[in-house]
Amino acid sequence: MTYTNVRFRTGPLPEEFIATLAEHTHTTILEIREMFSSCILCERSATIAAVGLDRNSWLQKSRTGKMRIMLYGLCRSCSDIADAIEQAEAIAIKDFTQSVH
């Protein structure tokens, strides 16, 4: 599977990253971990934690000064699907918009 403008890092998310997310989103480390503990596509236990950054957030300054990220988990079999990232991000966006309304 080939993705452009995507950096992959194997292994667990760094503790400092999780702690920073928790601090800046005013939530707990446990709640952050729950965001990527199960596969967003099939709900099995996730083996991969994925962090998606909104390309516009880091290419240009946002009006609010905030960077939009998506944090989700994927299991090994779902990560092998050709368009897994696109499917996962579509679900994450849908879930987010439903939780805001």
Residue 44 has pLDDT above 90, yes or no: yes
Q: Among all chains, which residue has been given the structure tokens 């987010």? A: 96
Single pTM value for the model? 0.68
Structure token digits, residue 80: 């092998």
Residue 48 has pLDDT above 60, yes or no: yes
State pLDDT tens for residues 3-14. 555 555 555 678
Q: What is the mean pLDDT of the chain?
A: 78
Residue 95 has a pLDDT of 78
Residue 1 has a pLDDT of 46
State pLDDT tens for residues 61-88. 556 666 677 889 999 999 999 999 889 8
Residues 6+ away with beta carbon under 8 Å from 69 = 21, 51, 52, 53, 54, 57
Q: Which region holds residue 11: left if phi is over 0, alpha if psi is between -120 and 50, else beta? A: left
Quote the percentage of the chain above a pLDDT of 90.
Answer: 23
- CB-side neighbour CA atoms (13 Å) of 100: 6
